[in-house]
């Protein structure tokens, strides 16, 4: 059963399939960006073009100089910090209404965490890795939403977490436009099984916010809920917690199943525990039973389809696993 999905608004590094704007005049292909084209509204930006550095251009690098990060263009022996900073601030000015971002890894402008930083501009030595000039602003303003670099999204678990987070934030944004308590109650209820797998404690705090015993204005309640939502979705769910949730979901239909049917699904959950099948295999089995028995509560749960099925992709580079 297909659920309607709102279209997320996602900021993306322009070189990831939108224009040949890299320093060497190339553009790159990102599988996840290509897959998302039919499902999200991308806002593509290139901070280095915005800074007037042109294409092609001599590469730039981040250097720590007098305790400050400077952007140095060695071939031109010039500092372009101000131009890039100004461009980055301009491009990041309207990001609060976005649901996420996919940025280019390792770029001195766009990287979120792995741009090379050198010690000084003269005979520079590699010092450490850190965020690029634009990446820093995106983390500051949008870091609680679905923000990742394209390379980490080649890891299956990180990609699944990114997509769950992206669509959860998009659903929240669509109801937050006109804050109504009934919409928030419904949002909270429909995300119950999913959020229980993410963070039970925070989910219960959200429950208290939604109960609104202080009778606060809806706008204030939405604001409080948004803060907690960021905490719920901060880290990927643990598979142990997801397995408990899957058993919980199965509990809603298990009385109507024959023992053979029940054991078939239990086996699938255990196969998921052993990493032999994907989460979607199990949720699809449970969803099939929910459809069979017309189980409205389960069919309304986001857990069964947290993002469009067409975005399910089992490919896995294994990269970024250590960062989970």
Task: List residues binding ligand SF4 (CB under 6 A).
Answer: 13-15, 21-22, 46-48, 104, 107, 109-110
Pick the closer one to ligand SF4 by CB: 74 or 207. 74
Pick the closer one to ligand SF4 by CB: 15 or 209. 15
Number of CB atoms found within 10 A of residue 3's CB: 15
Q: Are 96 and 50 in contact (CB under 8 A)?
A: no
Element (H, E) at 141: helix 133-142
The widest CA-to-CA distance across the chain, in whole angstroms, is: 75
Q: Could you give the residue ranges of the DSSP H alpha helices within 199-313?
A: 200-211, 218-232, 239-251, 259-273, 279-292, 296-299
Give the residue carrying structure tokens 């509560």: 297
d(CA 132, CA 305): 34
d(CA 175, CA 160): 23
3-class DSSP state for residue 287?
helix
User: CB-hemisphere CA count at 13 Å for 320?
Assistant: 21
d(CA 268, CA 285): 8
C-alpha separations of 33 from 153, 167, 270 in Å = 10, 15, 32
Q: Cβ of residue 106: shortest distance to ligand SF4, in angstroms?
A: 8
Residue nearest to ligand SF4 (CB): 15
Among candidate residues 54, 52, 64, the one with its CA nearest the CA of residue 88: 52
Pick the closer one to ligand SF4 by CB: 110 or 233. 110
User: CB-hemisphere CA count at 13 Å for 152?
Assistant: 24
Q: Cβ of residue 323: shortest distance to ligand SF4, in angstroms?
A: 20
d(CA 84, CA 90): 10
d(CA 194, CA 171): 14
Q: Cβ of residue 110: shortest distance to ligand SF4, in angstroms?
A: 4
Pick the closer one to ligand SF4 by CB: 42 or 172. 42
Across the beta sheet with 115-119, the strand order is: 78-79, 68-73, 61-65, 115-119, 125-130
């Amino acid at each position: 059963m297909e659920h309607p999905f709102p279209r997320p608004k996602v900021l993306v590094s322009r070189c990831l399939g939108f224009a040949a704007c890299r320093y060497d005049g190339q553009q790159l292909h990102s599988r996840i960006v290509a897959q998302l084209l039919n499902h999200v509204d991308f806002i593509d930006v290139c901070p280095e073009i915005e800074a007037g550095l042109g294409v092609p251009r001599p590469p730039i690098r981040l250097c720590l100089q007098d305790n400050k990060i400077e952007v140095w263009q060695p071939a031109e022996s010039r500092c372009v910090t101000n131009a890039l900073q100004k461009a980055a601030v301009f491009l990041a000015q309207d990001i609060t209404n976005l649901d996420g971002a996919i940025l280019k890894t390792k770029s001195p402008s766009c990287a979120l965490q792995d741009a090379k930083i050198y010690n000084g501009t003269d005979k520079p030595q590699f010092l450490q890795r850190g965020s690029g000039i634009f990446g820093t602003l995106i983390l500051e303003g949008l870091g609680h939403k679905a923000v990742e670099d394209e390379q980490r999204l080649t890891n299956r678990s990180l990609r699944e977490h990114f997509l769950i987070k992206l669509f959860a934030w998009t659903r929240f944004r669509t109801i937050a436009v006109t804050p109504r308590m009934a919409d928030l109650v419904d949002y909270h209820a429909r995300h119950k099984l999913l959020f229980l797998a993410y963070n039970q404690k925070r989910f219960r705090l959200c429950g208290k916010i939604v109960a609104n015993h202080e009778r606060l204005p809806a706008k204030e309640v939405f604001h409080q809920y948004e803060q907690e939502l960021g905490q719920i979705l901060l880290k990927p769910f643990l598979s142990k917690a997801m397995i408990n949730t899957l058993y919980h979901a199965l509990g809603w239909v298990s009385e109507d199943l024959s023992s053979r049917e029940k054991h078939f699904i239990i086996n699938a959950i255990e196969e998921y525990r052993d990493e032999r099948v994907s989460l979607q295999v199990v949720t699809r089995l449970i969803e099939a039973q929910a459809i069979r028995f017309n189980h409205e509560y389960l069919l309304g749960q986001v857990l069964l389809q947290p993002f469009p099925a067409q975005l399910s992709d089992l490919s896995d580079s294994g990269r970024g696993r250590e960062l989970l």
